[in-house]
Chains A and B, each alone.
Chain A
Amino acid sequence: MLFKNVIRDFKKRFVQVILLGIIVVLSSFVYVVIAYSVGALKGPTEEYFEEYRQEEFNVTINNQILEHEYDLITYQGLESINTLSDLYHQSQNDFDALIDNRIDDFYNSYDSVILEARLYKDLVVNTSETQHTFRFLKDASNINLSYISEGRKPTEINEIALTEYYALAHGISIGDSITLEDVSYQVVGFVFFPDYSLIIFGNEFIINNKTRTLALLSDQGFREINSNLEVVLAGLFAKEVNKSQYIRSIDIDYVLNISLTENTMRSGAIYEELAGGEAMGVMIALIIAIMAVFVVALMISRILNDHKGAIGILKALGYHNYEVTLPYLLFILMLSLPGLIIGYYLGFILAEPLKDIYVGIYILPDAPVLQNIHVFIVSFVLPLFVLLGLGYLVVSLILRKHPIELMNPTVVKNKPSKFKINLPFIKNAKLLTRLKHAYIMRNLIRFSLFLIGVFTAVFLILMSLSMIDIFDKTINQHYNQIDVNYIGYCDLYSGCNQEDVTHDRVIELPNVMAGEKNVVVIGLDADNLFHPLFENGENITSKLNEEGVIITKGMALTTGLKVNDEVVLSYGNEEIKLEVLAIQDEYITDKMYVNRQTLSKYLTKGFISNYYNAVYSEAELSGDYLYVLNIDDLIEQSKDLANLGNAMSYVLIVSSVFIGVIVMMLISSLSLEAYFYDISLFKVIGYTDKEIQKVFINSYQFYTVVVFLISIPVSMVSFELITWYLSSQFGMIFPMTLRLMDYVVAFVLTMGIFYIAVPIAKHKLNKQTLQESLKIYQV
């Protein structure tokens, strides 16, 4: 009998069953797709990092040759040598000796580590469409070893290995030739470097693996590249130490900054991405799973309530508890099994393309998505047992009652509770208003389901909206405010010698320490033509005439510096204390502006006030520059990632609304079912459908607004925390800010959730005929 009843209920509640099915599918799907896509990267990535000896920390060193280091140099033309790059190109033996000496100095002061110099050169190549940047990394022998996924390492001067993503994006195969700066290279392999899982060069957060590539050359080929050599030290810990404490303790003259790998964007962001992605996936899946559990609990208790009489009869006839329980467990199985199967396989299938998106951003060796027992248990077996266990628990509670109690039909079931109707904020409201709230809050599970569902939807909507155009905010917004289209760079030490007065003369000084932060100091003239500075939209360029620095908003966020604070800048052995004059509207984290003449004098010990090593120009530059940066190209290069980010935000918005609608539909449907008796009474007394809707459905509108309002401060605090975390961990600014329009859109979408779901409930309410209602009273 109960089997038949259960099947009948399954058919009767078909819409609810479908909605619950979607929730179960979503829960299982979200977990599986993330677990498998992240899992496919995580294990192989960790193995790859270990096998190819990824650095555990990296040391930014002073690329100038320090005064006492000149004694180590045997090369005769010392007057032309200022930097490590100069020395490398003039005398490699002296360069090697100097680097060895620096490493020995380090070992002498601080043991427990292994160091190796990491040498690289950047080459900006103009193509017909855009600028491409090649970062050539010298093959290492101990740390950050290159990994050739296909082909072989270059051994000849004209051989090159590239990142596979870049090569494929340009239709380059192994064996093809490419020409860089008039030099032809044959591509002999595809290469990965463990210290570059993200191709981020410089201080711009631009990821575009189609226009930026890592490259490996033979040692001789690397030497021949005609561009500035950059040197950092890569390090491994030789024994167990407190890493953070260790790197903080280091005080060596040539060391500018030390970062642990997990705090270095290019090498460590992947750890956070995988852990964060997994955590986010588990969290969303868990929230949806909790909602599924609530829905199942509500449905089962509703059904059991309807079946009380039948259960009582069976108990009276002598049926065992397990015989009564079995059909309900079957019902739960029918509810959850298809959803779990669909969710699991959908997740497994879509894990591959999701992983490909990761691999398109991160430069990591590819690995196939493979099923594993852990994911299967967590996504399939565990939820199934939880739902069955829950069902068993609910049925057991009913079965504890005596048959006579179950068989005795009572229409009035709920005990009175003054709290439910006399909530403080509605104490003096009209009866129907109080009833509206009482009906919503009468069932705490249902109310919690509503709160969780709507809050999750609103939070995700706000989060998605805050992330739309986030890359535009961090990169392009700044460039849109200024008229600089081209930046021409000259050698840092010899400076520029251009006569063209239509350009702004600028100093870009890298590797300056501002407190403990490695920054680029920009020397600008207060009367410059193309690079105004703004603070909250107000032009503050004239402040460059004052003694002090103007820091970026990104820097203010990461360092906590405020206007009027003092910041100590150190460069080489020199230190200068300056006051923060203003905060420029720019999200780059490691940039500050000072008066160019002041900086020039500082750099030249007061001798020269007109030094500059770069020019900013609106028009295209021609002349003798190390390289020219095209800002339009830079903006263009950020578009791919920006578009991907925006697309993901839109998908998240649609998914959030979808989740919200499903939850709202389930809630209203379950409410109408639960209050069938009361609704019938209202109908019989003479209340119109509209009045009944007001009491039983429209009340959710009020709470939807309340949830929306609550979610605003919660979201704001959460976004602040995320922004703070990313900036403090990686120095990366992720300004999750919301404009007034975003709140309006979020509100419209939130109310949309209510208005999409409600007509279905209204239809169900209107369908509840008086004839059905009458059955209640004719017992």
Chain B
Amino acid sequence: MLIKMIDVSKIYETGEIQTKALNEVNLEIVQGEFIVVLGPSGSGKSTLLNVLSGLDVPTRGQIFIEELEISKLDQKDLTRFRRENLGFIFQQYNLLSTLTVRENVELGYQIAKEPFDIDEMLKSVDIFDQKDKFPTQMSGGQQQRVSIARALIKKPKILFCDEPTGALDEKTGKDILALLSQLNKKYQTTIILITHNPAIALLANRVIKMNSGKIVDIYSNKVKVDAKDISWS
């Protein structure tokens, strides 16, 4: 078992108002799975990603990643854990504009123990010929490829993707999803992808549906659909 969540709750307090962003969530994920987390805004999917990735700490419950209880780690150990095991992709790409493509990827490379070769990684995400460009000279899809390369260069066990196609058009979005599927197969990286686009769920091994901070449904796709074949919504 790669990830195990036991009765995890996350409560935000604003003055006297308490908001249960996660409500006693239990979940298990195995190595190499492609998980899609679906849900409307405010359903708790981003909070799930945050606590799972150690970006935030749960109010209650336990989270194990490879038998390490990350919910008990302090900020320093969480940072170390994140740098050694996790990768992130965000909707807004979040590249450093003053760095070239190669240098942005190098940011991830610098802190990895046994990273991939940068040029190999750039070729894998099909932006090797753009390596000397700056992010602002590239399209959204290309920037997201850089972001993926930066995340994967560290050889992370888990790749967290928060609405990675949210800012992209249909064709580019499908290209990115195809790339993620391909990398999932190639490197056996566990991918946890958050989206509100139900069509994307067809790419996953398993789909987790959330609402009001709870997992309302979990199901496996018997057949995974190719990214190019999904109908965009």
Contacts and interface: CB of A to CB of B under 8 A. Distances in A.
Contacts of B98: 414, 416-417, 420-421, 435, 438, 442
Nearest to B86: A686
Given A431-B110, A684-B55, A685-B83, A415 B90 contact: no
B173 interface: no
Interface in B54-95: 55-56, 75-76, 79-80, 82-84, 86, 88, 90-95
B55 A774 contact: yes
A685 B147 CA distance: 11
Interface in A14-59: none
A771 interface: yes
Interface in A234-293: none
Interface magnitude class on chain A: 20 to 34
Given A411-B94, A688-B79, A777-B162, A770 B46 contact: no
A438 B106 CA distance: 16
B99 interface: yes
B55 to A, nearest CB: 5
A749 to B, nearest CB: 33
B146 to A, nearest CB: 12
Nearest to B143: A412
Interface residues of B, number: 36
B107 A431 contact: yes
B76 A688 contact: yes
A686 B79 contact: yes
Contacts of B108: 685
B141 interface: no
Contact of B136 (A412, A435, A683, A773): A412
B24 interface: no
B56 A771 contact: yes
Contact of A416 (B55, B134, B154): B134
Contacts of B154: 686
A332 B134 CA distance: 37
Contacts of B33: none
A415 B136 contact: yes
B83 A416 contact: no
A341 interface: no
A751 interface: no
Interface string A416-449: 1100110000000011100100100010000000
B97 A779 contact: no
B88 A416 contact: no
Contact of A412 (B46, B75, B97): B97
A689 B110 CA distance: 15
Given A686-B79, A770-B56, A416 B97 contact: yes
A763 interface: no
A265 B167 CA distance: 77
A685 B99 CA distance: 16
Interface string B99-110: 100010011101
A779 B92 contact: yes
Interface in B36-67: 46, 50, 55-56
A777 B111 contact: no
Contact of B88 (A684, A687, A779): A684
B137 interface: yes
B111 A685 contact: yes
Interface centre among B55, B150, B162 (most CB of A within 10 A): B55
Interface in A439-466: 442
A413 interface: yes
Nearest to A411: B92
Given A686-B79, A774-B56, A415 B97 contact: yes
Contacts of A686: 79-80, 82-84, 86, 111, 154
Contacts of B135: 412, 416
B90 A777 contact: yes
A678 interface: yes
B9 to A, nearest CB: 16
A575 interface: no
Interface string B153-176: 010000000100000000000000
B96 interface: yes
A675 to B, nearest CB: 10
B56 A777 contact: no
Interface in B103-154: 103, 106-108, 110-111, 134-137, 150, 154
A534 B95 CA distance: 68
B99 A414 contact: no
Contacts of A777: 90-92, 94, 162
B95 A412 contact: yes
Contacts of B103: 421, 431
A743 B191 CA distance: 58
Contacts of B96: 435, 678, 681
A551 to B, nearest CB: 60
Contacts of B94: 411, 681, 776-777
Contact of B107 (A685, A770, A771, A773): A685
Contacts of B50: 774
Interface string A693-722: 000000000000000000000000000000
A171 B79 CA distance: 74
Contacts of A778: 46, 162
Interface centre among B92, B93, B106 (most CB of A within 10 A): B92
Q: Which 7 A-B pairs have the closest CB atoms?
A: A686-B83, A416-B134, A686-B82, A777-B90, A414-B97, A431-B106, A412-B97
Given A430-B110, A686-B154, 13 more contacts: A412-B135, A416-B134, A431-B107, A431-B110, A685-B111, A686-B79, A686-B80, A686-B83, A687-B83, A689-B76, A770-B56, A777-B94, A777-B162
8 contacts: A412-B92, A416-B97, A416-B98, A416-B135, A430-B110, A431-B110, A682-B107, A770-B55
Interface of A: 411-417, 420-421, 430-432, 435, 438, 442, 678, 681-689, 691, 770-771, 773-774, 776-779
Interface of B: 46, 50, 55-56, 75-76, 79-80, 82-84, 86, 88, 90-99, 103, 106-108, 110-111, 134-137, 150, 154, 162
